[in-house]
Amino acid sequence: MTPHNAFLEIRNLTAFYGDFQALFGIDLTMDEGDTMAVIGANGAGKSTILRTLTGLLPSKGQDIRFAGAAIAGQPAHLIHKAGIAMVPEGRRLFPSLTVEENLSIGASGKRKGPWSLAAIYELFPDLHDRRHHGGTALSGGQQQMVAIGRALMSNPRLLLCDEISLGLSPKVIKDIYTAVPLIRARGTSMLVIEQDIAQAMAVATRVICLQEGRVSLSGRPEDLSRAEITRAYFGLEADEPDTNEPAQEML
């Protein structure tokens, strides 16, 4: 693949929930092998991008190209077959299925590749002993591992992760993020949504910051200063009272 032929290319993406407009013309480009972090405050439109990309939200008429093909408007299962898998916000494991069944469900699209049950258990050894437990009988961190493993089972070319650190302790977050380089090493590109900016900057090769449905900053993490990110994250009215809380998250 040549660098000029973008792996993922989104042009002027808009999205609505009824009358409410969530995205106002987002442009986003990724090369294969990139780990892109999408950061931004609550309600900035991060999850909406993923929901549109996967086909969960209608994307008819939008300009989304993945691996050379236009995928906008396609049904979700065909987008999945094209090689985009998601770790959804809140994990969304199937509660009546065991850990192993949850993982196997991820392979429903029958895509070929390096990932198998054995490879997932190697990546997350904790899951092997609990493979016959109910998917939701595990700790939050282990459930997140199942959700990541389930997405990997489809051998995606692009893995979308929606807030995988949400509600987990710092130690567990660290454990889970140690898997990111291992996933990348097997040839999977990643698009990661994070509120934990430090974590996001540590793993990402590219960052974009959203603010109220628009891209407020994009670049390589090493090129961006802390002040730039703060401004892009909170906007110019950084002294608004309700922005105090996210400010602490950054520290």
Partner 1 sequence: MEWVNVLIQGVLLGGLYALFAAGLSLMFGVMRFVNIAHGDFIVLAAYLMLSFVTFMGWHPALGIMAVVLVMGTIGYLGQRILLNRVLGKDILPPILVTFGLSIILQNGMMEVFSADSRRVSSGALDVASISLPGDLAIGAMPLLMFVVALGVLAGLHVLFFHTALGRLLRATSDDAEMVPLMGGNKAHIFALATMIASGVVAVAGIMLAMKTNFDPSAGPSRLLFAFEAVIIGGLGSLWGTLAGGVVLGVAQVVGAQIDAGFQILAGHLVFLLILVVRPQGLFARMKG
Interface contacts to partner 1, rule CB under 8 A: 54-56, 75-77, 80-81, 85-86, 88, 92, 94-97, 101, 104-111, 150, 154
**For residues 92 and 186, which CB has a smaller minimum distance to partner 1 in the complex?**
92
**For residues 55 and 213, which CB has a smaller minimum distance to partner 1 in the complex?**
55
Name beta bridge partners: 190: 35, 159
CB of residue 86 vs partner 1: minimum separation in angstroms? Answer: 5
CB of residue 55 vs partner 1: minimum separation in angstroms? Answer: 7
CB of residue 225 vs partner 1: minimum separation in angstroms? Answer: 37
**For residues 92 and 174, which CB has a smaller minimum distance to partner 1 in the complex?**
92
CB of residue 176 vs partner 1: minimum separation in angstroms? Answer: 20
**For residues 166 and 224, which CB has a smaller minimum distance to partner 1 in the complex?**
166
**For residues 117 and 224, which CB has a smaller minimum distance to partner 1 in the complex?**
117
CB of residue 115 vs partner 1: minimum separation in angstroms? Answer: 13
Q: What is the DSSP string of the chain?
A: --TTS-SEEEEEEEEEETTEEEEEEEEEEE-TT-EEEEEE-TTSSHHHHHHHHHTSS--TT-EEEETTEE-TT--HHHHHHHTEEEE-TT----TTSBHHHHHHHTTTT---SS--HHHHHHH-HHHHHTTTSBGGGS-HHHHHHHHHHHHHTT--SEEEEE-TTTT--HHHHHHHHTHHHHHHHTT-EEEEE-S-HHHHHHH-SEEEEEETTEEEEEE-GGG--HHHHHHHHH-S-TT-GGGHHHHHHH-
CB of residue 63 vs partner 1: minimum separation in angstroms? Answer: 22
**For residues 192 and 209, which CB has a smaller minimum distance to partner 1 in the complex?**
192
Name beta bridge partners: 98: 134
Tokens standing for residue 245: 């809380």
**For residues 4 and 110, which CB has a smaller minimum distance to partner 1 in the complex?**
110
CB of residue 105 vs partner 1: minimum separation in angstroms? Answer: 5
Question: Are the beta carbons of 229 and 209 closer than 8 angstroms?
Answer: yes
